[in-house]
Amino acid sequence: MRKAAPKLALTPSGVSRRLVALEHFIDRPLFDRTSAGLQLNASGRSYFDAIESSLETIRAASFPERPFDGRIVVATSHSFANRWLAPRMPELSSATGLEIEIMPTRDAEAVRSGKAQFGIWGALDVSGLRSEVLLKARAKPVSCARLADGRHCPRALSELNDYPLLTVIEPEGLWERWFATAGLDYAPTRIVPFATLSLMYEAALAGAGVALAIPMLCESALASGSLVTCGPALSIDEAYRLYRQPRNQCQTLSERKFLNWIRREVALSDSLFSDLANAA
């Protein structure tokens, strides 16, 4: 209610009254009302599906400079594109009918200039764009069951400092943050930095050392057992955010479909990460 009110030039209570009036008008409830808020029910979903195309027709006529064409351009890092977004493109296309184009970059100008509708980045300082947190990252130490030097993966947290710790150049200090949250002394014998998370995970898969796994980017390796857990999932004070241009107009149907899809899929990946962490 609070988010919808400014776009409709109403108060939250005014939005509530409009919804109640609509439900009375069509003679059926559209939402389940719980202590957690409103949840669209089956009747509401059916009603929305029936009127969605008409709403899009009105929107396209009102904002002809932004016609719906079923195409979304997403600017994001190579690691996120390769390890999470690209493998899901067939499912995304099947579920939403959208055509997705990935622009591999960490330059937010891609969104500011309008070349991409959305940007998805972690640990990037971006100004002048609307943003929302997709994922508050947690990290847990992972490695091969047996490293290239012949050692087994660490059996206790106290052993971590004795192993090569794999990290990325940016953001800095991930291992320091993890050790601080774990309440452990940080005194590694060897730090091995990589330019991207993707390269870091490939090195971990090759047995080069212990890396910090975060949701989404190495879930397939964790699920298959190629990487095993060496410690708990803890906060590292980082987040993945979705960026878009600040504008007052409603999003196109294609943009709203993508937003709904990406939020749902990220939540599922985060839940899977939690399940894998608990199982370990």
Residue 68: predicted pLDDT = 42
Distance CA 62, CA 42 (A): 29
pLDDT in tens, 14-45: 888 888 889 889 999 998 888 878 888 888 88
Confidence tier at 280 by pLDDT (50, 70, 90): low
- 248 has a pLDDT exceeding 70: no
Residue 85: predicted pLDDT = 94
What is the share, in percent, of the chain residues with pLDDT greater than 70? Answer: 91
pLDDT in tens, 112-152: 988 899 999 998 888 889 999 999 999 999 999 999 999 99
Put residue 49 in one of left, alpha, beta given phi > 0 → left and psi -120 to 50 → alpha.
alpha
- 235 has a pLDDT exceeding 80: yes
Q: Are strands 71-76 and 99-104 parallel, antiparallel or unpaired?
A: parallel
Residue 124: predicted pLDDT = 87
Residue 10: predicted pLDDT = 76
Distance CA 174, CA 181 (A): 11
- Listed as own residue / partner, the contacts of 248-253 with beta carbons closer than 8 Å and 24 or more positions apart are 248/7, 249/63, 249/66, 250/7, 250/59, 250/63, 252/56, 252/59, 252/60, 252/66, 252/67, 252/68, 253/52, 253/55, 253/56, 253/59, 253/68
Confidence tier at 277 by pLDDT (50, 70, 90): low
Residue 113: predicted pLDDT = 87
- 104 has a pLDDT exceeding 70: yes
Q: How large is the average pLDDT for residues 70-75? A: 88
Confidence tier at 164 by pLDDT (50, 70, 90): very high
Say what the alpha-carbon torsion angle 26, 44, 21, 54 is, to the nearest 10 degrees: -70
Residue in 261, 274, 225, 265 with CA at minimum distance from that of residue 96: 261
Half-sphere exposure of 21 (CA within 13 A, CB side): 6
Contact 74/110 with Cβ under 8 angstroms?
Answer: no
Residue 48: predicted pLDDT = 83
- 9 has a pLDDT exceeding 90: no
Residue type for position 212 = L
Distance CA 87, CA 93 (A): 11
Domains and CATH numbers, the chain: 4-62 (1.10.10.10), 71-135+239-261 (3.40.190.10), 137-235 (3.40.190.10)
Residue 52: predicted pLDDT = 74
pLDDT in tens, 172-188: 999 999 999 999 999 99
What is the average pLDDT score of the chain? 88
User: 97-111 burial, b if ≥16 CB within 10 A, otherwise e?
Assistant: ebebebbbbbebebb
Task: Report residue 243 as tokens.
Answer: 């960026």
Residue 59: predicted pLDDT = 64
Residue 61: predicted pLDDT = 66
What is the share, in percent, of the chain residues with pLDDT greater than 90? Answer: 56
Residue type for position 178 = W
pTM above 0.75, yes or no: no
Residue in 224, 238, 210, 225 with CA at minimum distance from that of residue 140: 210
